[in-house]
A and B are shown apart, each in its own frame.
Chain A
Amino acid sequence: TQLLEQSPQFLSIQEGENLTVYCNSSSVFSSLQWYRQEPGEGPVLLVTVVTGGEVKKLKRLTFQFGDARKDSSLHITAAQPGDTGLYLCAGGGKLIFGQGTELSVKP
Chain B
Amino acid sequence: NAGVTQTPKFQVLKTGQSMTLQCAQDMNHEYMSWYRQDPGMGLRLIHYSVGAGITDQGEVPNGYNVSRSTTEDFPLRLLSAAPSQTSVYFCASSTGRSQETQYFGPGTRLLVL
Contacts and interface: CB of A to CB of B under 8 A. Distances in A.
Interface of A: 4, 6, 9, 30-31, 33, 40-45, 48, 50, 88, 90, 93-100
Main secondary structure of the interface of B (DSSP, over half): loop
Contacts, number: 54
B106 interface: yes
27 contacts: A4-B42, A6-B42, A31-B98, A31-B99, A40-B107, A41-B106, A42-B4, A42-B90, A42-B104, A43-B43, A43-B90, A43-B104, A45-B102, A48-B99, A88-B43, A90-B43, A90-B102, A94-B33, A95-B33, A96-B59, A97-B35, A97-B42, A97-B44, A99-B40, A99-B41, A100-B40, A100-B42
Contact of A42 (B44, B48, B106): B106
